[in-house]
């Protein structure tokens, strides 16, 4: 399969929003309320991604193959003041039907190279505690459990956990 990961452009906002909503619906089924997942609006996320791609706070990358964009990831400066971490993987989503083909690994590699360009030396990521599949992925990449905290998404009260890499050299691809 011909596939590549590249920096996202402004006109990728539509495709990123499509992947965002579809992947939330498949990955978070059973974790987030059905009504909440059904209510996610692609046009709302398209607008949010357009703003994010314009303000340049985050590095955003897309994975695409012949049929178009199948995944995206973003990262940048750590956002919540977590001690010991300056870099953060903000989001990574690969369409269910495209998972398990290395897109996730290549997207993480791209984010890590973006963090290096920003002179950030480490990385943290937050993931829902019950998202066992993404946790397995981060553990596979050498992420070390940091801590957990509550998070509200829509009307749901959940727990999220973080994984950290104290050095970007600790990523195990
Ligand atoms: C998590 C996600 C980004 C991984 O991307 P992917 O393209 O499926 O993963 P890759 O094919 O690049 O896998 C890279 C490596 O991780 C491993 N891996 C992937 N998922 C794994 C899991 N659940 N447990 C253990 N290892 C896993 C793969 O086996 C592969 O290692 P290998 O080559 O030694 O076999 C993707 O599955 C996804 O988008 N999931 C749904 C959305 C989500 O939960 N996002 C994270 C929100 S915090």
Residue labelled with tokens 């050299």? 169
Q: CB under 6 Å to ligand 1: residues? A: 23, 27, 92-94, 99-105, 127, 131, 133-134, 136-137, 140
Q: Which helix (H) or strand (E) holds 37?
A: helix 34-39
Q: Coil, helix or strand for 19?
A: helix
Q: Which atom of ligand 1 is nearest to the CA of 93?
A: 39
Instruction: Provide the pLDDT for residue 96.
Output: 98
On whether the CB atoms of residues 9 and 60 are closer than 8 A, the answer is: no
Which pLDDT score is estimated for 144? Answer: 98
pTM value is: 0.98
Q: What pLDDT is recorded for position 23?
A: 98
Which one of 19, 20, 137, 172 would you pick to mutate in the ligand 1 pocket, going by the greatest count of ligand atoms within 8 A of its CB?
Answer: 137
**Per-residue confidence (pLDDT) for residue 1, from 0 to 100:** 58
User: Can you give the pLDDT at residue 3?
Assistant: 81
pLDDT along the chain (173 residues), means of 10: 89 98 98 96 98 96 95 98 96 98 98 98 98 98 98 94 98 97
Which fold would CATH assign to domain 3-170? Aminopeptidase (3.40.630)
């Amino acid at each position: 399969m011909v596939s590549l990961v590249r920096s996202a452009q402004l006109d990728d906002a539509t495709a990123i929003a499509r992947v965002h909503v579809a992947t939330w619906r498949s990955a978070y089924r059973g974790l987030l309320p059905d009504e909440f997942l059904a209510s996610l609006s692609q046009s709302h996320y398209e607008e949010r991604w357009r703003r994010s791609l314009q303000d340049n706070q985050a590095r955003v990358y897309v994975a695409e193959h012949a049929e178009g964009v199948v995944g995206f990831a973003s990262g940048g400066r750590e956002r919540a003041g977590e001690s010991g971490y300056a870099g953060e993987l903000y989001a990574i989503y690969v369409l269910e039907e495209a998972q398990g083909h290395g897109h996730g690994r290549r997207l993480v590699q791209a984010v890590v190279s973006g963090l290096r360009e920003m002179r950030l030396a480490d990385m943290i990521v937050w993931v829902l505690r019950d998202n066992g599949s993404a946790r397995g992925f981060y553990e596979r990449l050498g992420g070390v459990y940091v801590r957990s905290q509550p998070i509200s998404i829509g009307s749901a009260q959940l727990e999220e956990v973080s994984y950290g890499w104290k050095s970007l050299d600790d990523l195990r691809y």
